[in-house]
Structure formats: C-alpha cells, structure tokens
A and B are shown apart, each in its own frame.
Chain A
Amino acid sequence: MSEPFTRRDLLHKVGRGTVLATLGGGAAFLVQKAHGQVVWQVDAARCLNSRLGVVGVEACNLCTTECVVELSAVRAVNEYSRCGRCNICPAYFNITSAVDERGLPSEKLCPRDAITRKPIGKADPEDPANNFYEYLIDEEKCDGCGKCVMQCKEPLGLGSIVLRIRYNRCVDCNRCAISKACPKDALIQVPVRSQNGGRA
C-alpha cells in the first residue's frame, strides 16, 4: 500500500516546482541577455510621466538628460488607437496659454515643436471644434522629454502618448544610464520577443 499523500508533501512539491521554475526562468533570461536577446524598455505603468495617479507634478525628463545617445534613444509615441483626436489636445497645446480668436490656446507645449496636428477629413474653416485631429510626433525632433506624455495622461487626457525606446538609436548599454537615474525603476529589461515597441 502506498504512503498517504499529505498536505506537507503537496506544499513540498509546489515549493520545489516554484523554485525550479524561477531558477529556470532566470537562467533563460541570462542566456538571452548573453546573446543580446534582451532589451531595455520603458514600463509605462512605472514611468512618472505616464503612471496613473500622479498629477500636479512637473514632467520627469531624465530619459532626455541621462541617455548616452545624442538627443536620447527615447521617444514619445502616440498610440493612435487610444488617442481621442481632440480639438484641444493638452499634449499639443499649452492649455493654460492665452486663447486666440479661434478659441484655441495660443502656445504649443512641445519645446522642440515635434508634434504636428492636422484635421481628419474635411476641415471646417468656421469652427475648428467640428473636426477630429491627428497628432503626429516627429521622431527627428522629439527628445523624449516627457512633457506631452504627462499632459496626455489620464484623467487630463487618455494616456495615448507614452515613452518608448527606439532600438535603432539605443546602443544597448549593459547598464542603461537612464535606468540608473530613473527614480521609479521604470527602465526594465525584457526579452526581445516581448518588448513593446518592436525593433525599429
């Protein structure tokens, strides 16, 4: 007759399985890293500029100032499927600037003028509110300062703009300089197959 299978046995097996899975996963990650198969990525849920719940603070620009690449390898990216295509986009306009004769803020937000706005469909010359708008980010101008990301974040915006590492610019530092400076540990390493922006 076999020994009864106790709760302790079960916990033992589960514990051993968990340890082995963790060690196996860690080993696999190290192998991937050794073969250049992991990349740095900005975790939007951690990034101060995009994480929900943080309001009323200045945008963090460490991705701009700390990256070893000229102009930074980080860019603001508008995920169009989430964009509200608003007439007055807080990421495009400085929404606290004076209002012009068309009822729009008179100043833009981006210090490098990297965002362009164009009406979708036929523009209504009488009333700019009668259009949806497409907001395009020029990656040659953007330096990843995060100002537009902070302004696009919910609840002010819809959170469609996030920071992404552009891998045609990133030099794959073993220890990313931004990650060392990031106060929220928002720079993480992930296997290439699960990174969010795709290798450019």
Chain B
Amino acid sequence: MQYRRVAAIGGKGTGPGQFATSLRGLAVDPGGNIYAANDSQITIFDAAGRLRRRWSTSQPVHSVAVAGDGAVYAGQIGQIEIFDGAGKLLRTWHDQTLLWRVTAIGFVDGDVLAGDAMGRAIRRFDSGGKFRNNIGTDNPLNGLAVPNGIVDFGVDGHGIIHAANPGKHRVERYTAAGELLGHIGQFHGTDPAGFGGCCNPTNVAVRDRIYVTEKAGPRAKVYNFNGELEAVIAADVFDANCKNMSIAVDRRGRVYVADTVKLTIFIFEKVAV
C-alpha cells in the first residue's frame, strides 16, 4: 500500500485559514469537513481545504472532536467547551482534577472520552458530563506512559479504544470500562514496523485500520488490527522537529496529519494499484 500527498492547508501566519502559533488537534466529520484545534480557536475547512468557519475558544485549545450530533468538543486545560456546528457555545465542563489538560476527545456508546495528559489517563463521562471511569490507569505505572505530554486515542467501530502508550511503544486496546484487551507494536530503532525513539507513537486515529504518528523522525504510518505495518504514509514532508502530530482519517480513507512546526495540515490518500 502506498500513499501520496494530495494537499496541504493552513500554514503559519495570521491570514485567513492560517495558524498563528499552534496546531494541536485535528478531526474530520462525516461530511469530510476538517476541524483544527489551533491557538485559541477552532478552525473549520471544507473537504476541498477552503476555510469555512473559525471561532475563538476561551483558552488555548489542545484537542477537537465532532460528535454524532455535530457538536464540536474543544479540549483545554481544566475544561471542555462544547459548541454547536456554528460555533455557539452550548456548555462547558469544568474539572480541575479530571480534565487537567485535555489532549484528545472521543465518543463511545453515547459517552464522551477525554484524554487527560496530566493524569496520564482517558476519562469517561456520560453525555451530561458525569464522570464514569478511568481508562489506562489500572497498571503498574498507574497510567499511560506519556513523556511527550499528550494522551491520544481512537475508537473503532466496535467501541474499542485504541490508546497510544508511547513509553511502552504500543497502541493498547481497552474496553470502555477500562479493561486492557491487548496491544500492538514494539520498540525498534531501525525497522519501520516498530516504534522508535524513547516514546512512540504519540498520536493515534482509528477507522478501518490503526493510523499513528511518531516523532524524531516524524512520520505517519498505518497498521492493520493485527499490528502488521501496512504502509509508511509519509515521513520527509514533516519538519524534523515535529512532535505530537495529530492524525485523523475520513470515511474515504484520506489521512490528515498536523505538522506542529510548519502549522500545516497535510492530506494523504492511497495510491490506487
């Protein structure tokens, strides 16, 4: 399997559709619209990469996700802000202990999952914001090993949570109740099938496969659910100093990766064989 770069959107700057200082999170909705968590903003592009909408958040935003009803969740420090699709603030969940720094958001069985980087855990809340349980904490390290400072995960079609555990060089599978089901991945410093460096992969997205990004050197890869590497999607395109590159996949299989130094969203798609 091979991928090719088909587009690059955003870029560093203050112009329309650009990102001033940070690009931390990505999401794609069923219509192919691209949501970026940048600076203290949510920025939305259509599937062709045209700027559609942009609104401010109350704090710097660390993650973004779009729920089935179109609500946009923006993870921040100590809170999640929930907007409607037009950018109107619907409500805010505050929690200084369970939402210390929300670097990923997802949804499972009507519940909301928040990756709390400071707590090294995924927090599960019901749709009203009531805490239900932790995921990733029932282990000898009392949490995910995340030296990079972010927790990231994806949820597959069966409601299984695939969480990056970069300190262990694994992507771990959990039930929504927090039971560890297994993992893929292992360390390897030279074989691209392995995860290199101190702590990779940093970011995960899940759809038909498991998509990850790594740092030092930065690259995006795709694995099947058995943990076999299917392709290195891209490597050279990213700035060498990139880390914590958010990754998203749309229903057509297009892969979106946030270059955190160039502040650019790179879009890749499979090359037909």
CB distance from A57 to the nearest CB of B (A): 11
Interfacial chain A residues near B173, Cβ < 8 Å: none
A96-B190, A130-B140 known; A156-B197 Cβ under 8 A? yes
User: Is A129 an interface position by the 8 A CB rule?
Assistant: yes
- Chain A contact surface mostly: loop
Contact A84 B241, beta carbon cutoff 8 Å: no
A131-B140, A156-B216, A158-B147 known; A86-B189 Cβ under 8 A? no
A52-B241, A89-B198 known; A132-B189 Cβ under 8 A? no
Contact A157 B145, beta carbon cutoff 8 Å: no
The one of B168, B169, B216 in contact with A155, judged by C-beta atoms closer than 8 angstroms, is: B216
| Complex interface bits, B166-201 against A, C-beta within 8 A gives 1, otherwise 0 | 011110000000000000001111100010111100
8 additional contacts (CB under 8 A) given A86-B167, A99-B194, A124-B140: A56-B240, A86-B147, A86-B198, A88-B197, A88-B198, A95-B189, A95-B196, A131-B140
CB distance from A86 to the nearest CB of B (A): 4
Contact A53 B145, beta carbon cutoff 8 Å: no
User: Is A104 an interface position by the 8 A CB rule?
Assistant: yes
User: Is B242 an interface position by the 8 A CB rule?
Assistant: yes
Interface residues on A, range: 20 to 34
Contact B139 A130, beta carbon cutoff 8 Å: yes
Within 8 A of A (CB), among B62-81: none
Nearest residue (CB) in A for B216 is: A156
Contact B198 A84, beta carbon cutoff 8 Å: yes
User: Is B90 an interface position by the 8 A CB rule?
Assistant: no
CB distance from A48 to the nearest CB of B (A): 15
The one of A90, A96, A122, A130 in contact with B198, judged by C-beta atoms closer than 8 angstroms, is: A90
A86-B199, A87-B168, A131-B140 known; A155-B186 Cβ under 8 A? no
Interfacial chain A residues near B167, Cβ < 8 Å: 84, 86-87, 129
Interfacial chain B residues near A55, Cβ < 8 Å: 216, 240-241
Nearest residue (CB) in A for B194 is: A99
Number of interface residues of B (CB under 8 A): 26
Interfacial chain B residues near A88, Cβ < 8 Å: 169, 187, 197-199
Nearest residue (CB) in A for B215 is: A155
Interfacial chain B residues near A87, Cβ < 8 Å: 145, 167-169
Interfacial chain B residues near A146, Cβ < 8 Å: none
User: Is B243 an interface position by the 8 A CB rule?
Assistant: yes
Interfacial chain B residues near A89, Cβ < 8 Å: 198
Contact B190 A155, beta carbon cutoff 8 Å: no
Nearest residue (CB) in A for B190 is: A96
Within 8 A of A (CB), among B26-74: none
User: Is A97 an interface position by the 8 A CB rule?
Assistant: yes
Interfacial chain B residues near A90, Cβ < 8 Å: 197-198
Within 8 A of A (CB), among B228-258: 240-243
- Tell me the total A-B contact number using a CB cutoff of 8 A: 75
Interfacial chain B residues near A132, Cβ < 8 Å: 141, 145
Contact A99 B240, beta carbon cutoff 8 Å: no
| Complex interface bits, A70-102 against B, C-beta within 8 A gives 1, otherwise 0 | 000000000000001111111000011101000
How far apart sit A90 and B216, CA to CA, in the bound complex (Å)? 11
CB distance from A148 to the nearest CB of B (A): 12
How far apart sit A45 and B145, CA to CA, in the bound complex (Å)? 27
How far apart sit A182 and B249, CA to CA, in the bound complex (Å)? 47
12 contacts across the A-B interface (CB closer than 8 A): A55-B216, A87-B169, A88-B187, A95-B198, A96-B189, A96-B190, A103-B186, A131-B141, A132-B141, A154-B241, A154-B243, A156-B216
The one of B168, B190, B215 in contact with A129, judged by C-beta atoms closer than 8 angstroms, is: B168
CB distance from A155 to the nearest CB of B (A): 4
CB distance from B217 to the nearest CB of A (A): 8
How far apart sit A87 and B167, CA to CA, in the bound complex (Å)? 7
Nearest residue (CB) in A for B199 is: A86
| Complex interface bits, A34-57 against B, C-beta within 8 A gives 1, otherwise 0 | 000000000000000000110110
User: Is A105 an interface position by the 8 A CB rule?
Assistant: yes
Interfacial chain A residues near B218, Cβ < 8 Å: 155
Nearest residue (CB) in A for B188 is: A99
Contact A84 B188, beta carbon cutoff 8 Å: no
